[in-house]
Structure 1
Amino acid sequence: MKIVMINGQNHKGSTYHAGKLLIDAITIDKQVKEFFLPRDLNHFCLGCYACIEDETKCPYFPEKNIIMQEIEQADLLVFTTPNYCMAPSAPMKAFIDLTFTYWLSHKPRECMFNKKAVVISTTAGAGAREAIKPVARTLAYWGISDIKKFGFTVQAMNWEGVSAEKKLKIKRTLSRQAKILDKNKNKNKKPNVSFKTKLLFNMFAGMQKANMGSSPTERKYWEDKGWIGKERPWKNK
C-alpha cells in the first residue's frame, strides 16, 4: 500500500502524532511519503487561472507537481491539520487553493476515484470538526468517496502535554481504522464510488457540455476523456 501523508504544519505536534499512530498501526506492507506544509509548498494561489489553460504554467508548478504526482500514485491519503481558529491551518488552505483544478468542476483525475482518504485534526478545546470539513470537502470534490474523519480534543498545547489516557484513546480509535484498511487491502477491495460523487460528476459533465465551464481548454479536456458522452472515470477503476 502506498500512503501519502500531507501535514498542515511543519512541526510535529499532536495532529501529526495522531496521523502517525494510524499509519504505524497499518500492518500490511506499505510505503509512506510525507509532506509538510508550508515547508514543501510555501505559496499562496495568485488567482491567475494560468493552470486552467496549462497546469505547467502555474508559477509554483515544480513544487506542486512533486506532491501531486505522489498523491496520484497513492492508495491512501492521510491529511493532518491542527485546528487554527475553527479552520484548517493556513498552509493547508493554501494547498487546497493551489490544487483547485483537480476538482470535479474543472479537470478531475481518474485515479482519484479509487483512493481512500483519512482526515485528522486535533484541538486543545473545540473546532476539530470545523478544521476537517474544508479538507474533506476538497477530497470529495477530487472524486474520492471513501473519506474517514477523526477529530480529537487533546486539552494540551503539544503532544507531550496530552495525557496518557487520551493518547491511548486516540491510539485505539485509529488502530480500529487501520485494521479496516488492512482488511480491505488484503481482500483487494476497491472503494465504492458513492451516489453523491456520481451525481456531482454528471452535473459538471452537463455543465461542460453546455459550455458552462471555465474555458474551452477545460471543455476539450472533458471531450478528450469522453466524459461529455457516456464514458465515466470510475468504470475503468
Structure 2
Amino acid sequence: MKILMINGTMQKGSTYTIGKMFIERTASEEDSVKELFLPKDMPEFCRGCAVCIRQDEKKCPDYLIYMRRITEMIDEADLLVFTSPVLVYHVSGQMKALLDHYGYRWMVHRPDASMFRKQAVCITTAAGAGMKKALRDMTDSLRYWGVARIYTYGVAVGGGIDDTNREKIETAVHNLAEKIEHDASKVTPGLRVRILFYIMRFMQKRTGTTETDKNYWEEKGWLGRNRPWK
C-alpha cells in the first residue's frame, strides 16, 4: 500500500504526532510512506483564474513547479492522510490553498477515476473547539473528488498530548487503523459518493458544465455504461 501524508503546517505538533501514530499502526514494512508539508511543498494561493476548469489543469500557473508533483503523488497513493490543526475554526490557510487548486477535480467537473478506489483519513486537533468545521473543510473536497472511503478524527488536546489524553488518543487511532482496508481491490465507494456521481452524470448528460468537462466524461465512457469504480 502507498500512503501519502499531507500536513497543513510545517509544525510537528499534536496534529502531526497523531497522524504519525496512525501511520505507524496502519503501515506494514512493505508499504511506502511519503510526506508533504505546507506551505513548503505548495506555497502559492489559487488565483481564481479558472483556467484549470475551463481549459486544462496543466495550464495552471502553479502546475509545472508545484502541482504536477503533488498530483502525481496523490494519484499514486492508495491511502491519503490529511492533517491540519484548527485555526480560527477551520483548516490552515496553507491546506485551503492546496485544496482550492483542485476545484477542477470536483465531480461536477473532471474527477480522476483513481479516486474512487482510494481511502482517506483526515485528522485535526484544537485547543478547544472547531474540529468539525476543520474536518469538513477537508472532507468536502475529498468527497467531491470521489474518494471511496473517508475517515475522520478530531480531538481537543488543550496544551498538547500528555498523560491525561494519550490513552484516549491511542485507542482512537488504533480503532481508526483497524478500519483501513489493505487490499485496494476491495475498496469501493459508498452510497453517498455513488449518488453524487450519478447526480453529476445526469448534469453532464443534460447540458454539461463546460465543453472540456463534457468531453472528459464522454471519453471516460461515464455517460454510457462505464463507471470509475469498475
Same fold, TM-score > 0.5, yes or no: yes
2:49 matched residue in structure 1: 48
Write the distance in 1 (CA, Å) between the matches of 2:188 and 2:51. Answer: 33
1:219 to 214, 221, 225: 214
Residues 11-160 of structure 1: matches in 2 within 5 Å?
Answer: 11-28=11-28, 29-52=30-53, 53-62=55-64, 63-156=66-159
Moved more, 102-111 or 25-34: 25-34
Cα gap change, 1:44/1:169 in structure 2, threshold over 3 Å: closer, same or farther? same
Unmatched 5+ residue regions in structure 1?
none
Query: What secondary structure, in the 3-state scheme, does the structure 2 residue paired with 1:233 have?
Result: coil
1:193 matched residue in structure 2: 189
TM-score (norm 2): 0.94
Shift of 1:45: 0.9
Shift of 1:170: 1.0
1:176 matched residue in structure 2: 175
Shift of 1:174: 0.6
Unmatched 5+ residue regions in structure 2?
none
Provide Cα deviations, 1:201-222, integer angstroms capped at 9, x if missing partner.
1111111122230x21111111
Shift of 1:145: 2.9
Write the distance in 1 (CA, Å) between the matches of 2:27 and 2:123. Answer: 20
Write the distance in 1 (CA, Å) between the matches of 2:187 and 2:150. Answer: 10
Greater than 4 Å deviation, 4+ residue runs: none
**Is 2:196 the counterpart of 1:210?**
no
Query: What secondary structure, in the 3-state scheme, does the structure 2 residue paired with 1:152 have?
Result: strand
TM-score (norm 1): 0.91
Provide Cα deviations, 1:101-128, integer angstroms capped at 9, x if missing partner.
1111110011000111100000001111
Shift of 1:7: 0.5
Provide Cα deviations, 1:20-50, integer angstroms capped at 9, x if missing partner.
0000112522111100111100111111111
Q: What is the Cα-based RMSD across aligned positions, in Å?
A: 1.4
**Is 2:230 the counterpart of 1:231?**
no
The sequence identity of aligned pairs, in percent, is: 41
Cα gap change, 1:15/1:209 in structure 2, threshold over 3 Å: closer, same or farther? same
Shift of 1:151: 0.4
Shift of 1:179: 3.1
1:9 matched residue in structure 2: 9
Cα gap change, 1:43/1:114 in structure 2, threshold over 3 Å: closer, same or farther? same
Write the distance in 1 (CA, Å) between the matches of 2:111 and 2:184. Answer: 24
